[in-house]
Amino acid sequence: MTELKLKTISFLASGRGSNFEAVAEEIQKGSIKAKAGILITDKSDALCLSKADKLGIDSLFVDPKKYSTKQEHEEEIIRHLENYGTDLVVACGYMRLLSPFFINRYKNRIINIHPSLLPAFPGKNGQKQAIDYGVKITGCTTHFIDEGTDTGPIIMQSAVPVFANDTVETLSSRILIEEHKILAQSVHLFCEDRLIVEGRKVIIK
């Protein structure tokens, strides 16, 4: 059996980067057989930058305000991703919608984490949407990004109960624990070539 070539995983994040940190630590421990590429953020003060520094992973702020069009901004991001030989892009709390131009460049090679059981509660504030709707169970989903909002083929999901006294904060913190698990597992499966996309479905080999 031929040994798999180590894939390079790069990251897009806008905030504190706890999902980035969870995956990067698994790469460094060897649980995910891959190399860390670069973390790119669209916020100069994003906390994920200090996490990358602590982990010894290269990071970069690419300022969207410096570019006259979305595509020019994305072209600059792609240039850096390609410099690192990126095989997979992990979007972990990246708050900027990716254009069809970017998505097609990395078709079925961008994994996103979302804090609900998709297709329920897509878009922003999935945890608040779940509480407001009154569901008893929510959770989180990893999926490949397509051109819709949280509509891409689903890789993994994990269910989390919603309690009567939950606030957005308490529910979010319980969901986040599961996010870290399934995002790392999804990246691990990608790196082992065990994810096959057939139409809307992701088959795990």
Residues labelled catalytic: 114
Contact 163, 130 (CB under 8 A): no
88: exposed, middle or buried (Cβ count in 10 Å: 0-12, 13-18, 19+): buried
* Residue in the structure block whose two tokens are 């190399």: 35
Separation between Cα atoms, residue 103 and residue 42, nearest integer Å: 17
**At 22, which amino acid appears?**
A
Half-sphere exposure of 137 (CA within 13 A, CB side): 5
| 160 in Cβ contact with 137 (< 8 Å) | yes
Provide the sign of the torsion angle of the four alpha carbons 25, 30, 198, 130, taken in this order. Answer: negative
State how far the alpha carbon of 22 is from the alpha carbons of 19, 32, 92, 132, 151, in Å: 5, 11, 10, 29, 24
Amino acid (1-letter code) at residue 46: A
Question: What does the alpha-carbon distance between residue 108 and residue 26 come to, in Å, rounded to a whole number?
Answer: 22
